[in-house]
Amino acid sequence: MQAPGTPPQTPPAQRQAPSIVVLDPAHGGTDLGARGAGGVRESEILLLFAAQVRRALESMDFQVMQTRQGNENPSFDDRSAIVNSQRGAVFVSLHVGSTGLPGTVRVYVMSDLSASNDATGLIPWDRAQAPFLPLSRRFGDIVQGFLAPRFKGSPNTAQAAAVRQLRTTAAPAIAVEISSVSMEDRDALDRMAPGVADAIARGASAFRPLYVVAATNPGERP
Amino acid sequence: MNRRWLPWLISALALAVIVAGIYFPILRKRLRQATQLPPQSEEQARRELTQTTPATTSGPMTKARLFWSSGAGDGSLMPVTVDLPLTNDPTMRAKQVLNTLLAGPVNPELRTLPPDAVLLAFYMLQDGTAIADFSEALATNTPSGIESEQMAVDSISKTLEANVPQVRWLKILIHGQEVDTLAGHLDLTRTFLVNAKPAPMTAASAHASAPAADSANQSASKSASGKPASTAAAQSKSATQQSLTPATPPGKLTQPVKKP
């Protein structure tokens, strides 16, 4: 409670985060990603997963952008640039791994990354994720929480890993890895897509009110 | 015409058919087994060629803890204790444990690193940064995926932490170069924290060994498979004598500042 006569404190300028999700189907082009003995290619199957995730997000009023629509292979930095140019967006990178318990899904967030602003106060591009690590952890835990009951054997909380794609992303960012291309039955992998899509959409929706973007970005001059 | 030989001929032919009938499945089985043997890669051939002859171990056997897959399928690791003639020199010691890690556990299913990957060089800097330079097979043959790549790096990092207390940071190079990722996912442009409170490095122990002089490189590579490990103590001396101390480590240790 404020003392009488004390001037009222003005809260920092904030605004509701725009509902933008940048979806990143990893790999593409000559980079096929993980390959299964049955001919499953990570780069191909991810486009199918991305389409389902996109539909689930759009049904919850999210605006969705994709880092690739077809078989092109943008660089890590090009993918990051898409989300970094959007104020208040979140980033979801989709992967299908080579290993892991078949039928499980893991959410990864960037492992510790020391933040270091340069003399201008700007965030170095190659450490863009550093100021967003706590938010990414929160976002990852929420999405993993929706995935765990659907896919038995999946962890209950997000894991930390030095995922290259996440490092240069200036937004709450997670990587979702589905296990795995080694599944003998391709249909079993395809059947996971609706559950993964719904969990990501619900996770993004639950995270939305927690992510209030400051009027100015970290390091940006007001 | 004398046909007395005809029964003998028919008997011989019948015998030949019976023998062929017995031998053919055996032959087919052997052929199948032969085709299932994995072809020897260049890296494996190189490793065998450079394998030093096992000698008597002059150093005391130490219980080394190596981290291979737990087999749970969830990316977790399990420490395995292996008796190795470890030296006190951190560089040589790191090479011994990493080569044993590369050689793999008794159960090949629990491998964390590709069987044909080779440790080309290992350097220790004064600040406790360890630089491990692996052959390209580490990048090309590690299964692509966040979990599998993380497990590979974790097994290297945890094995160094458990056996070489001087290592603070780990930097992984592929064939002498810094690469973006291990196999498409895990960031290798960074250094990995191994031990937040490392043992101090002595000036003498911070050195690097040239790959050609790396006589201890293979010293322990067969130990975990149950085969005899070669000695390290005698090799340690020769390798140390030929070691180099680079002013700057190979590869790029500082992150390039990129702008979108």
Kindly indicate whether the domain formed by A15-214 is annotated with CATH number 3.40.630.40: yes
- Name the one residue in this structure whose structure tokens are 């318990």: A101
Q: How far is CA B86 from CA A43, B98, B163, B201, in A?
A: 44, 12, 9, 17
Q: What angle do CA B139, A111, A75 make, to 5 degrees?
A: 50
Report whether A106 contacts A179 (CB < 8 A). yes
Report whether B102 contacts B152 (CB < 8 A). no
pLDDT at residue A137, rounded to an integer: 97
User: Best mutation site among B70, B109, B149, B187 for testing chain A: the one with the most A CBs within 10 Å?
Assistant: B187
Please give the Cα distance from B113 to B182 (Å, whole number).
12
Low-confidence ranges of chain A (pLDDT < 70): 1-18, 115-119, 214-222
Please give the Cα distance from B25 to B11 (Å, whole number).
22
3-state helix, strand, coil in chain A (%, to 5): 35, 20, 45
Considering only residues B245 and A205, tell me which one the structure prediction assigns the higher pLDDT. Answer: A205
Would you call B112 helix, strand, or coil by DSSP? coil
pLDDT at residue B201, rounded to an integer: 81
Q: How far is CA A28 from CA A45, A71, A76, B179, B215, in A?
A: 10, 5, 12, 19, 42
Q: Where are the domains positioned within chain A?
A: 15-214
pLDDT at residue B160, rounded to an integer: 98
pLDDT at residue A8, rounded to an integer: 46
Q: CB A167 to CB B187 under 8 A?
A: yes
Residues B9-25: tens digit of each pLDDT: 888 898 888 888 888 88
Residues B81-124: tens digit of each pLDDT: 999 999 999 999 999 999 999 999 999 999 999 999 999 999 99
| C-alpha torsion B107→B110→B114→B117, nearest 10 | -70
Residues of A with CB under 8 A from a CB of B: 26-27, 31, 33-35, 42, 76-77, 80-81, 84-85, 95-101, 104, 106, 108, 112, 118, 124-127, 153, 155, 161-165, 167-168, 175, 177, 179-180
Report whether A71 contacts A152 (CB < 8 A). no
**If pLDDT is split at 50, 70 and 90, which confidence band does B257 have?**
very low
Please give the Cα distance from B121 to B107 (Å, whole number).
26
Q: CB pairs below 8 Å between A and B: how many?
A: 99
- Name the one residue in this structure whose structure tokens are 């895990």: B186
pLDDT at residue A18, rounded to an integer: 60
β-pairing, A90-96 vs A20-25, is: parallel
pLDDT exceeds cutoff 60 at B259: no
Predicted model pTM: 0.74
Please give the Cα distance from A199 to A221 (Å, whole number).
37
How many CA atoms within 13 Å lie on the side-chain side of A165? 31
How far apart are the CA of B145 and the nearest CA of chain A, in angstroms?
A: 4
- B228 DSSP 8-state letter: P
| Dihedral pair phi/psi, residue A212, rounded to 5° | -105, 120
pLDDT at residue B121, rounded to an integer: 97
